[in-house]
Amino acid sequence: MLARHALATVPAVARSAPRGSTAVRVVLRDRLRALVCELGASYIKGAQLLSTRQDLLPAAVCETLGQLHDRVPAMSTEQARIVVDTAFAGREWPFAEFDWTPIASGSIACVYRATLHDGREVAVKVRRPGIGPRMHADFALLASGARLMQRLPGMRRLPASEMVGQISEAVLRQLDFETEAESLRMLGGNLSDLDFLRVPTPVDEIRADGILVMEFIPGLRRVTGGELPAETAALAVRRVLHCVYRMLFLDGVVHCDLHPGNLYLDLQGEVVLLDAGFVVHLKPRVRRLFAEFFFNMSRGNGRQCADIIVRSTDNGGAGADLERFRTEIIELVSATHKKSAGEFQLAPFAAKLFDLQRRCGLYAAPEFVFPLLSLLVIEGMINEFDAGVDFQAEAKPVLIKSLLTAVPREPAAS
């Protein structure tokens, strides 16, 4: 696929070159989007996450990849009809009307608008045919690469295989719409006291393999930071952060897929959260450790952050250069303390943290990757709407409540 797209790009670039460098860049970005789409759902998922990171990629590339949030080339009407007809074969057809033009098209499924016999408007999520085997094959290749990586010098302690296994399990869970329906109900219940948040409710009486029927929420559109007054944008950011921190630190639930195709804001700063396929439940011990790490990071306490990472390891850091690790963690945390979202970038911080662990021969619990991923995805939106927010300080009230009431302490070492 790479070779074919590279060969096709050469004449396209040659035809565009007389019109200037801007035309050439447009051709290259369009070819990149087409390549990612052909590679399949696993690569599209990675591109969706990268599209939120204008600190890592040029804005124009992020915009191109951002089209893959809900505008992936849709399956044909014939394919969609076959999937839906097969799912309800031998059963009463539940829809009074069904619009076969998709209102959204993602990496794993397309979403259609329909009306039930009782008049309710619903969104019908239809899984793409044949998507499961291809995604399983992608992650089998990724697992092979992880096993190879762990044989390289300096990487033997890296829990790459365990990390890939956990990520694979979480991503492949998106193929199970029954599990997603349960996650939607759970998120809606956990956050039901937040009057500014809306989560679509699954229609429990209509269930079928590869089909998820849920409440239709009208009027959704992407709102950019420039469309909102500064006060409303700041309010929206704090509301999103409050939702994420509630999920992470109180409920132990990590939504790893809050890109602009799944997280909508309106002109009043209201929040709509869609799609609960990529949701991970943290074990109480991991949730406690991550909450302690984040709390001490918000206080600038690097020594405690270092000790928490050491406690999270399987062997307590045996054989690692703990003195160097503690010294450099203190420097890293001090350098980020009290910085606003615009001044602090999580991706470079995480990269430095990972590199430090590699150099010192010590690795945090692999489950830490999920809350970090969740925060990495929403960080781009935060910077767009309110780069001045102190996202560490915003977490403190939820963190204090979590550490005092929600997560049991680890038993003292004997």
Answer for the pair 158, 152: CB distance below 8 angstroms, yes or no: no
Angle 322-336/302-312 helices, nearest 10 degrees?
A: 130
CA-based nearest residue to 130, from 79, 68, 180: 79
- Dihedral angle, C-alpha 13, 19, 20, 23, nearest 10 °: -60
**pLDDT reported for residue 414:** 41
CA-based nearest residue to 143, from 163, 127, 126, 124: 163
Residue 348: alpha-carbon gap to chain centroid: 18
Answer for the pair 188, 279: CB distance below 8 angstroms, yes or no: no
Decide the pairing of beta strands 271-273 and 197-198. parallel
Low-confidence ranges of the chain (pLDDT < 50): 412-414
**pLDDT reported for residue 70:** 60
Max CA pair span of the chain: 74
Q: For the chain, what's the residue count? A: 414
> Tell me, what DSSP letter sits at residue 71?
B
CA-based nearest residue to 111, from 217, 18, 242: 217
Could you report the per-residue pLDDT of 234-247, keeping only the tens digit for each?
A: 999 999 999 999 99
Answer for the pair 315, 351: CB distance below 8 angstroms, yes or no: no
> What CA–CA distance (Å, rounded) separates 139 from 48?
17
Q: 313 by DSSP, 3-state: which?
A: coil
CA-based nearest residue to 174, from 139, 122, 216: 139
**pLDDT reported for residue 410:** 56
